[in-house]
Structure 1
Amino acid sequence: MRTANRLRTPYRTTLGLALAGVTLAVLTGACSVQDAVCGGGEYPVIAVGGTGSACAPDGEEPPEGYARYPEGKVPEHVDDKWYTYWNTRTVDENGRTVELSEEN
């Protein structure tokens, strides 16, 4: 009986570690399924007074006609909370958030 118990314990440990590894891989892999708004070395910018966005190189100011998103409201992935939020809003020339009309 003692021999049988010794064989089962390493098997259970190995199985447990394997399942933990698979679970970790699935959970961390789910984050990378979403498409990033911008590539590495870039940050998202919003069109001033209208629809649209673009990506600007890190360390550089936004191109003319674009502004940085307000702090804490920057979309990171396609269809995330802030990406969806900015589908119906923009910023004006003073940096204030404004609702978009149906015409934009």
Structure 2
Amino acid sequence: MSEQFQVESMGDHDYLVRARHSDGVVESRFRANPAVLDRLRVSEADERRVVRESVAYLAERQSVVDLPQMVDLEDVAAAYDDYVDELSRRLAAS
């Protein structure tokens, strides 16, 4: 299934993500916690990219329809051992 993601800043490190998939559109709020940005060694200016790559990362591991309504990237980093390394690699490649 092919997904498309739209990332909209809501201010204060919060983003609304709309994920299109074959059955429609789902929305989730993402929080780009500054502590995770520090671990990824990126600036706040790169938050949108971090969120976009995080959505893609999660979509490779589960259906976007199963994403919670609120996703804190700190929780993602705690749940997936390879998240920080994988995101760092993706951000360096883009």
TM-score class normalised by the smaller sequence: under 0.3
| Higher RCO structure (Cα 8 Å, ≥6 apart) | 2
Q: Which has the larger radius of gyration?
A: 1
Q: What is the TM-score normalised by the length of structure 2?
A: 0.23
Compare the two structures and name the one with the higher strand fraction: 2
